[in-house]
Structure 1
Amino acid sequence: MTNDKLAGWLDRSGMSRGELARRIKVKAVEWKEPHVATSTTRVRFWLDGQIPRPPLPDIIAAVFTDSVGYRVTTYDLGLGDGAGAKNALVYNSSYTATVEVVADLGRADVDRRNFLAGAPFAALAGVGPSRDWLMNVLDQEPAAGPRVRLEDVTAVKNMFGEFQKMDVLQGGGTGRLVLAEYMNQHVYPLLRRTHSDDVRQVLCEAASEQTYLLGWMAYDDGQHGLAQRYLIQSLRLAEESGNAALGSHVLAGMADQATLLGDPAEGRRLAQAGRLGLARANSPACLADLWCLEARALALLKDKTAAARAVIESEKAYAKARPSEEAEWAAFIDPAYLYGEHANTFRDLGDASAADEHARKSIDHARSQNRARRGAMSQAALAVSHLQRNDLEAAHAAGVRTLNLTRQVKSSRAVEAVHDLQRRMQPFGAHRLVADFNERARELTTAA
């Protein structure tokens, strides 16, 4: 099958096949890939549908980008996905490179491209970004273009709250693609244009907030490789904005993900890096979250004393928080969230009484706010606390409430809480309540 996309771009550029081959050789040398060989015959093969091996697709895209004067991707040329998944794990010191990577990531997300479906979560990929966020100085200016006004950025920031509410109330799987399309059409293009210094700062802040939210939604939807890439790029944009509290907030999300995926030591380290970043910022809510997430990690590391101390530090920090003085992205850091996460900490420490107490407080707050996802996860923590005291009947009742709330949202974390309950009920064998819960859980999985 012929590659009509490549043929179209070749016509648009005005290059002949021989000229394209020549420029590819020159670009390969620039990229320190002198072994790359091409010819007019090879160009014909590509036009006939053959996909060249890496790094040729990215080199070809760079040639067309130089020729037409704006960004052309391997996807535009019909040459596959290029190095997008790998590049999105890199914390690039170049602002310009960061803009291109995050824009490509958003487009790939909306187009459901193959590299995202197979993109794995990379263990320890947060080590470099968290270090560089604390230390880096930036080195490049954005590309020229129509000047961005402060009003443009205000419009972007006004949209953030609506998308965040969508995530909190309906789960990350509900609105992520809508947000990604909005970012592709209205936000990432602004990053490529020229700005005054003050506008550039608030624009990067707004873009970082919403890129973080894309990552968080992907995380909640079980798309962990994609989530990790969004979070790393969000952290880089936060650095560009000069907002240390926002960067710490992004590190909190990275810490949460690392702990969830089985690396609590890395989760703790990321949370600690976030707390260090708050040395130059004031966000008691963010500090409370970071202590909370460190407690979660410490519980899994079986350090009971340190975990309990981290919970206390989280509560002390939140006591100083004033919601009206916090950034909008911190709105979810509230009693429903913190009590729920502390319940999980005490659950993992085997302290059923403390887990029960915190879970019930979280459930009450979540119910008053109609937050089904948080309610489901805290009901699951409550059910586990009952299991830890061998009260299967109470655990079953809380488990059914977990199922009912999980049906109201699209959240892989809530579904995983259900599966975790099933695993924890296994020691009770073929008891009728276990069988009933498993049957109800199967109905949930089938509906999903």
Structure 2
Amino acid sequence: MIREPFGQALRRIRGAKGRSLRQLAKAAPVDVALLSRIENGRQSASESVARAVDRALGADGELINIQRLEAAQRPRKAVASDPMRRRTLMTGAVATAFAGLVPPPMAGASPGRVGSSDAGRLQTSAVRLYALDYQHGGETLWQAALSHVAEGYSMLEHGLYGPTVEARLLKATAQVQMCAGWLAFDSGRHDVARSCYTEALALAKQAGDSEVETHALANLAFQANVLGNPRQGSRLAEAADRAAALSEGFPRLPIIPQLRLALAAALTGDASASGRALTRARRVLDRDGDKPTQEWCTFLTPAELDGLDGTCALELRQSDRAIRLLSDAVAAHGDPYARNRALYRVRLARALLDASEPGEAAASALAALDDLQGSVVSWRVSSELDDVARRLTPHVRDQAVANFVSRYTGGHTDPASTEGNV
């Protein structure tokens, strides 16, 4: 029997060391929202997380031992590689769609002769996964994408094909690798995401494919921005912009690097540079908006640019502008883009808090919870919502705020119940 749960032990040791949750997250490094969920008992710690925080806190193996005891006492489940194991993690429409996206295990067998249709099948799987991500977030989907990545590599290494098929297969595997990276990123699996992006970049170099190269560099830039490294994000975005200049016939593609540059500039407080990058992005959309584009670029609509423009305004502390743009973005995102709508609702709540409007912020955060109730599972949405909940807690005398905090914490409105989110 475990005398003290891992989350409680983590909070005790962290407090004794005088470390805030954010300081620990940076030192480990582990996502702060994940640590918050672990401390509050809403999620179990993996051994890798236990090792990281044990090392960062100098706990001499105490946290590792507790995690191992907890893991040993949990009921055993089917092996993770079994598609039926994956389906138990999902419900409803997501599970139904996911079941058809996991390829059968190849069990080490040679795939034999490979044709263009096999590459096309990989690309189609990526398209379907992106569509599900827009609706539900990446949490329940990234494993499926990695299954297709493994299938692509198996065909490349063991299949029989000619030069034309090889080129198509390299591109298709790189595209599904990018999809896996994006879904892993949206699930907070940053090490998996970075590995996928760098592997896709290597495949793009082998294939001489500037489109995938642009995509990989732009996503690495986005990840750097989100993880608090905007100078690295800016450098990667500039490299993506150079790669995009070599790509012809890919409408909307040049928008992506400009959006990454805009956010990197906003994060460093450079409003002028951020504005210039956003202006360039809108000009490309005005030029290419009516042209057919790759599936992973279809989210680049005027509504999405409003949302990203509003995000930059939020980082630049331009509250009124952020509220206007984010409100427009929320209104324009329908159910097929429920994940993005939830994200912009949370950011609108942040902007309203900056403008000293806690009641309206709580209303926006409640609407985001409604989207999450609709099977959206996204690390980005959840981590930003954790921060909003922390900021709203001191305003619980406002009825709208009290309603949100009560629903968010499952009825526990004591401000101390959100201490782990600080």
Q: TM-score range by the shorter chain?
A: 0.5 to 0.7
Q: CA deviation at 1:305?
A: 1.2
Distance change >3 Å, CA 326–CA 434, structure 1 → 2: same
Correspondence 1:191 to 2:160: no
Distance change >3 Å, CA 246–CA 182, structure 1 → 2: closer
User: Does the Cα contact within 8 Å between 1:203 and 1:241 map onto a contact in 2?
Assistant: no
Q: CA deviation at 1:272?
A: 0.8
User: Does the Cα contact within 8 Å between 2:148 and 2:176 map onto a contact in 1?
Assistant: no
Looking at structure 2, the residues matched to 231 and 180 of structure 1 have their Cα atoms a distance apart, in angstroms, of 12
Residues 203-260 of structure 1: CA distance to partner in whole angstroms, max 9, x if unpaired? 1111111011111111000111111111110111122222202211111111111111
Residue aligning to 1:315: 282
RMSD: 2.7
Residue aligning to 1:299: 266
Residue aligning to 2:242: 276
Partner secondary structure for residue 404 of structure 1: helix
Correspondence 1:237 to 2:180: no
User: Does the Cα contact within 8 Å between 1:205 and 1:238 map onto a contact in 2?
Assistant: yes
Residue aligning to 1:363: 330
Residue aligning to 1:383: 349
Q: Once the two structures are aligned, what percentage of the paired residues are identical?
A: 25
The amino acid of 2:302's aligned partner reads P
User: Does the Cα contact within 8 Å between 2:133 and 2:339 map onto a contact in 1?
Assistant: no
Residues 309-338 of structure 1: CA distance to partner in whole angstroms, max 9, x if unpaired? 211111112212246442232222223432
Looking at structure 2, the residues matched to 423 and 308 of structure 1 have their Cα atoms a distance apart, in angstroms, of 30
Higher relative contact order (CA 8 A, sep 6+): 2
User: Does the Cα contact within 8 Å between 1:110 and 1:181 map onto a contact in 2?
Assistant: no
Residue aligning to 2:188: 222
Residues 24-52 of structure 1: CA distance to partner in whole angstroms, max 9, x if unpaired? xxxxxxxxxxxxxxxxxxxxxxxxxxxxx
User: Does the Cα contact within 8 Å between 2:343 and 2:368 map onto a contact in 1?
Assistant: yes
User: Does the Cα contact within 8 Å between 2:259 and 2:281 map onto a contact in 1?
Assistant: yes
The amino acid of 1:341's aligned partner reads L
Residue aligning to 1:340: 307
Looking at structure 2, the residues matched to 375 and 404 of structure 1 have their Cα atoms a distance apart, in angstroms, of 11
Q: CA deviation at 1:364?
A: 2.3
Residue aligning to 1:176: 142
User: Does the Cα contact within 8 Å between 1:403 and 1:444 map onto a contact in 2?
Assistant: no
Correspondence 1:251 to 2:211: no
User: Does the Cα contact within 8 Å between 2:393 and 2:405 map onto a contact in 1?
Assistant: no
Q: CA deviation at 1:437?
A: 2.5
User: Does the Cα contact within 8 Å between 2:339 and 2:371 map onto a contact in 1?
Assistant: yes
Q: CA deviation at 1:421?
A: 1.2
The amino acid of 1:224's aligned partner reads H
Residues 176-228 of structure 1: CA distance to partner in whole angstroms, max 9, x if unpaired? 222322333x3221111343222111111111110111111110001111111
Greater mean alpha carbon deviation, residues 392-401 or residues 353-362: 353-362
Q: CA deviation at 1:377?
A: 0.9
Q: CA deviation at 1:145?
A: 8.3
Q: CA deviation at 1:432?
A: 4.8
Q: CA deviation at 1:343?
A: 1.2
The amino acid of 1:252's aligned partner reads A
Looking at structure 2, the residues matched to 297 and 337 of structure 1 have their Cα atoms a distance apart, in angstroms, of 17
Q: CA deviation at 1:383?
A: 1.6
User: Does the Cα contact within 8 Å between 1:245 and 1:281 map onto a contact in 2?
Assistant: yes
Determine which of 250, 260, 268 is the counterpart of 2:226.
Answer: 260
TM-score, length-normalised on structure 2? 0.67
Distance change >3 Å, CA 435–CA 329, structure 1 → 2: same
User: Does the Cα contact within 8 Å between 1:383 and 1:395 map onto a contact in 2?
Assistant: yes
The amino acid of 1:189's aligned partner reads S
Distance change >3 Å, CA 377–CA 201, structure 1 → 2: same
- Tell me, which stretches of 5 or more residues in structure 1 are unaligned? 1-107, 113-143
Q: CA deviation at 1:378?
A: 0.8
The amino acid of 1:187's aligned partner reads G
TM-score, length-normalised on structure 1? 0.63
Residues 238-288 of structure 1: CA distance to partner in whole angstroms, max 9, x if unpaired? 222222022111111111111111111111111111001112113342221
User: Does the Cα contact within 8 Å between 1:285 and 1:330 map onto a contact in 2?
Assistant: yes
Distance change >3 Å, CA 351–CA 284, structure 1 → 2: farther
Residue aligning to 2:319: 352
User: Does the Cα contact within 8 Å between 1:285 and 1:318 map onto a contact in 2?
Assistant: yes
Looking at structure 2, the residues matched to 150 and 361 of structure 1 have their Cα atoms a distance apart, in angstroms, of 42
- Tell me, which stretches of 5 or more residues in structure 2 are unaligned? 1-78, 84-109, 418-422
